[in-house]
Structure 1
Amino acid sequence: MIYNSIIETIGNTPMIRLNKLAKGIKGDVLVKVEYFNPGNSMKDRMAIKMVEDAEKAGILKPGGTIIEGTSGNTGMGLALAAVAKGYKCIFTMADKQSKEKIDILKAVGAEVIVCPTNVAPEDPRSYYSVARKLNADIPNSFYPNQYDNLSNTAAHYETTGPEIWNDTEGKITHYAAGVGTGGSMCGTAKYLKEQNPNIVTVGIDTYGSVFKKYKETGIFDEKEVYPYLTEGIGEDILPKNVNFDVIDHFVKVTDKDAAVMTRRLAREEGLFVGWSCGSAVHGALEWAKENLKEGDVMVIILPDHGTRYLGKVYNDDWMRNHGFLEDKSYATAKDIIGKRPSDYSLISVKPSDSVRDAIALMNKTSVSQIPVLNGGEVVGSVTDTKLLSKIIENPVLKDAHVSDVMESSMTFVAGDSTLDVLSSMIEKEKAVLVRDDLGKIHIITKHDILEAFTN
């Protein structure tokens, strides 16, 4: 087949089964490999859609300049469209982006302006603000604004979603993707849920981003925002393309776990992919270990190619300098629970137990937090500090049932979760839970992690 230009080759990327990395997980785990797009990323899909929609609306005229804030991949897609259609490009990027991404954009004729990462979005130095100012100052320019331009979502609703549905013959039960601008996650999820409302969607977030807490509480917490290294996912803003209604769950992934999984994808599956691909796979597999059943089909999006990260996650010195190199002796959740006696029993209460009995149990066992189990399933938790504040506010609660005062369930983690992951999760939440090889539930607290670090 002969194509008229490079942009006609966008889409219809392959679906590949994970074998080694998904070993032991029930169900089928598939990845949609988006680096087969001509710009080596899934951003090609929405880049051409934003350009063509702007042309139809008369916003982008011949000889115009495309100006965008990008982490690199969207810029590449826009640059290819610009080459094919005769536009100029100026891109603003945060200084945490890899040199390879900057060089690639320059190679296809774009001008790149590098801006500081650690400034607020509204700061005039941020890459968002610089792009907007350039758009205001340069005549006949178009600012796609991938964060709030709903053509982003539409591109994936029209292409990625139908491709996944057709490739799995409608058998998909779970969809997982990193969430950055939100277009690929939400456009695809919207289409899939229209075909089958029972499809479960899992958004992958990073520590330092606001998405997970906002989904779970409705609160935009600025305390959640802090610098992180992973490129392409997470945000310190709420883009209009992020439709939380079509995202059922969020999983956060650390920079280190994302980087290590990225290298494992190349080494164990032959998939030479980018850093956020490691985030997506690590987070999705963590979720799948506890939730996927026989017969389920999970599809994970792998957004881009590894060539853009040769100086970072694929560079041993860079990995070593950031403490990211895999260390087989590094303690895990499995190591912690493996040192416990064989007759270990989880201290727990039932929803029907009295608050008075729960307090007595905490005093007797000298624990500050207890999971709530109903028929062997974890349904909630109680902690001494929250319990105390509730009883001070309403003393009659001491005679109530645990179900009247319990908090959300503690999070289950995989046995291979390392100490830094466990530490970051407990710092943000309560204790965490893990199942041993026999299916027995264990609790891991801050004390357990401190002890593991010092032993």
Structure 2
Amino acid sequence: MWYNNILETIGNTPLVKLNVIPKDIKATVLAKIETTNPGNSIKDRMALKMIEDAEKSGKLKPGGTIIEGTSGNTGMGLAIAAVIKGYKCIFTTTDKQSKEKVDALRAFGAEVIVCPTNVDPEDQRSYYSVSTRLEREVPNSWKPNQYDNPSNTQANYEQTGPEIWEQTEGKITHLIVGAGTGGTISGAGKYLKEKNPAIQVLGIDTYGSVFKKYKETGIFDKNEIYPYITEGIGEDFLPQNVNFEVIDYFEKVSDKDAALMTREIARKEGIFAGNSSGSAVAGLMQMKDRFKEGDVVVIIFPDHGSRYVGKMYNEDWLRERGFLKDEKLTARTIISKESDQEIVTIDAEETILKAINIIKSLNISQIPVTQHEMIIGKITESDILDALLENPALKSHPVKDIITSPFPFVDLNTSIDKISSLINKENTAVLVEDEKGRFKIITQYDIINAISA
């Protein structure tokens, strides 16, 4: 048996039992692994459905251009379908989305425009507004508008919900889904509740999003809105696809808990899932008292971990945000083993002879060079030697005549692995600013000393 094209492989994704993370939960916990779709996400389902419905209605015409605001996964589904069906794609996204997502969209020939995150949806610079403007300007174009397009919800009503019902033999008691556009939770949830009204549909929200408060109070509170890191969950407006009547309860999960749980899923369950899956499982654990023996809990795992290797799966990225504190050495621990004295610097206008005397008297091999108290470069023993061999008279010249690029700067949470990768023949050290605002220098010797201590 074979398929006529890649679009025919969408759907029928596996349901996999989680065994380690929810071991203290008496219920059976199953993950719906949507990463087996061709675009590695659940959004393939609704992307194809939106296109097919637009073709039937005449909104999308042959040779047309698909324009959409997307965090990446919907764009991927649209881009794959566009390749098969012969459409062009222009996507707008936010600068908080991972580089991997943007690169993946471009791999399918799509044009991607990155817009700022920290603006209101109505702002002309927002990725919603830019995509709307482009739809007006680009001839023969169509904007799916995944947030308000009912085909989004319908795809999950027709596909995801029935699959879960059949795979659990109708035994599902709880559905847990991260809510973004709302199509997955509303569509699958509606179908399942029609089969059994007792099924609980639990939405995962994030801090900085309006969903939870709106569900509980009916109030759209702009004070709830602020920037957050978690991708694919939450919104700062109310998409029409979010059916609050279908959703029984929202659980908020922090950026940190979502990021760390994303890693735990890979390490403890062997499933390479994305950020919203981590958020959903973290939400499961926060709600563990809701579940009893005999319950069957299904969690949607919307996308693949490959789109987050530069973020949630990158230890330096986690440390920079204060999410990861482990026993690995960092710039902070390395400089804590040094003396409390600030590093020696030399002004760019001082003579090379003075630099030589400093190097001799302090038995050091390099000095950061300053100008107006700002570090602008460095001077090393080898720089001085090379200069004097060429022209001994340079001793009386200012240091600025032979300075080279400054040492790289790192922050206090940078790992020893990252620091080591920055130290080479051109850069024999890195600089870091301590908590008191003083510059410290880290050399290979400091790293060795910290490791062996």
Same fold at TM > 0.5: yes
| Distance in 1 between residues matched to 2:111 and 2:196, nearest whole Å | 44
Which position in structure 2 is the counterpart of 1:228?
Answer: 228
Contact 1:165 1:192 in 2 (8 A): yes
| 1:327 to partner: Cα distance | 4.7
Partner of 1:348: none
Contact 1:260 1:326 in 2 (8 A): no
Contact 1:202 1:284 in 2 (8 A): no
| Cross-structure match for 2:18 | 18
**Is the contact between residue 70 and residue 91 of structure 1 (CA under 8 Å) also seen in structure 2?**
yes
| Partner secondary structure for residue 2 of structure 2 | coil
Match in the other structure for 1:118: 118
Q: Structure 2 counterpart of 1:258, which letter?
A: A
Partner of 2:291: 292
Equivalent residue for 2:374?
none
Q: CA deviation at 1:284?
A: 1.9
The aligned counterpart of 1:159 is: 159
| Structure 1 residue 324, shift from structure 2 partner | 1.1
Match of 2:106 in 1: 106
| Cross-structure match for 2:332 | none
For residues 155 and 284 of structure 2, the distance between their equivalents in structure 1, rounded to whole angstroms, comes to 23
What residue in structure 2 maps to residue 215 of structure 1?
215
Corresponding residue for residue 241 of structure 1: 241
Deviations 1:184-234 (A, max 9, x none): 011000000000000011000000000000000000000000000111010
Distance 2:30 2:326 in 1: 27
Match of 1:269 in 2: 269
Distance 1:280 1:326, change over 3 A: farther
User: Does the residue aligned with 2:297 lie in a helix, a strand or coil?
Assistant: strand
* Cα shift readout 1:124-173 (whole Å, capped 9, x = no counterpart): 00000000000011111010000000100000000000000000000000
Structure 2 partner of 1:446: none
Please give the residue correspondences for 1:104-183 in structure 2 after superposition, counting only pairs within 5 Å: 104-183=104-183
Q: Which has the larger radius of gyration?
A: 2
Gaps of 5+ in 1: 329-455
Q: Which runs of 4+ in 1 moved over 3 A?
A: none
* Counterpart Cα distance in 2 of 1:142 and 1:28: 43
The aligned residue for residue 400 of structure 1 is none
> Deviation string for 1:63-104 (max 9, x for gaps)?
000000000000000000000100000000000000000000
C-alpha separation in 2, matches of 1:124 and 1:33: 37
Instruction: Kindly provide the amino acid, as one letter, of the partner of residue 292 in structure 1.
Output: F
Deviations 1:246-293 (A, max 9, x none): 000100000000000000000000010111110011102221x21111
Residue matched to 1:423? none
In the alignment, the residues of structure 1 paired with residue 214 and residue 99 of structure 2 have an alpha-carbon distance, to the nearest angstrom, of: 32
In structure 1, the partner of 2:7 is 7
Match of 2:300 in 1: 301
* Match status 1:323 vs 2:322: yes
Partner of 1:280: 280
**What letter matches 2:188 in structure 1?**
T
Task: Please give the alpha-carbon distance, in whole angstroms, between the structure 1 residues aligned to 2:312 and 2:173.
Answer: 31
Q: Which residue of the partner structure matches residue 334 of structure 2?
A: none
Inter-partner Cα distance in structure 2 for 1:219 and 1:38:
39
Q: State the Cα deviation string for residues 386-407 of structure 1 (Å, max 9, x = none).
A: xxxxxxxxxxxxxxxxxxxxxx
Q: Specify the alignment match of 1:59 in structure 2.
A: 59
Q: Shift in Å at residue 326 of structure 1?
A: 5.2
> Does the 8 Å contact 1:179/1:234 carry over to 2?
yes
1:160 & 1:326 partners in 2: Cα distance? 38
| Partner Cα distance (1:13, 1:327) in 2 | 36
Deviations 1:24-63 (A, max 9, x none): 1011000001000000000000000000000000000100
The secondary structure found in structure 2 opposite 1:181 is coil
C-alpha distance in structure 2 between counterparts of 1:326 and 1:183, whole Å = 36
Scaled by the length of structure 2, the TM-score of the pair is 0.72
In 1, Cα distance between equivalents of 2:275 and 2:36: 16
* Paired letter, 2:316: D
Amino acid at match of 2:313: Y
The alignment-based identity, stated in percent, is 70
| Separation in structure 1 between the aligned mates of residue 179 and residue 285 of structure 2, nearest angstrom | 16
CA distance in 1, matches of 2:303, 2:158: 20
- Matched residue type, 1:56: K
Match of 1:206 in 2: 206
What is the match of residue 96 of structure 2? 96
Question: For 1:411-450, what aligned pairs fall within 5 Å after superposition?
Answer: none
Residue 336 of structure 2 corresponds to none
| Code of the aligned partner of 2:256 | K
What one-letter code is carried by the residue in structure 1 that aligns with 2:303?
D
How many residue pairs get matched? 328
Which 10-residue stretch deviates more, 276-285 or 45-54?
A: 276-285
**1:325: how far off?**
1.3
> Which residue does the alignment assign to 1:193?
193
1:28-43 correspondence to structure 2 within 5 Å: 28-43=28-43
Distance of 1:275 and 1:299 partners within structure 2: 17
Aligned-partner Cα distance in 1 for 2:90–2:5 = 22
SS at match of 2:245: helix
2-structure distance, mates of 1:12, 1:124: 40
| DSSP-derived class of the 2:130 partner | helix
For 1:325 and 1:169, how far apart are their aligned partners in 2? Answer: 40
2:146 and 2:284 map into 1 onto residues whose CA distance is: 25
Cross-structure match for 1:312: 311
State how far apart, in whole Å, the 2-side matches of 1:42 and 1:240 are.
19
C-alpha distance in 1 between matches for 2:136 and 2:237: 22
- Provide the C-alpha distance between the structure 2 equivalents of 1:295 and 1:233, rounded to a whole number of angstroms: 29
Aligned equivalents of 1:215 and 1:199: distance in 2? Answer: 18
Q: Distance in 2 between matches of 1:11 and 1:325?
A: 35
Superposed CA RMSD in Å reads: 1.1
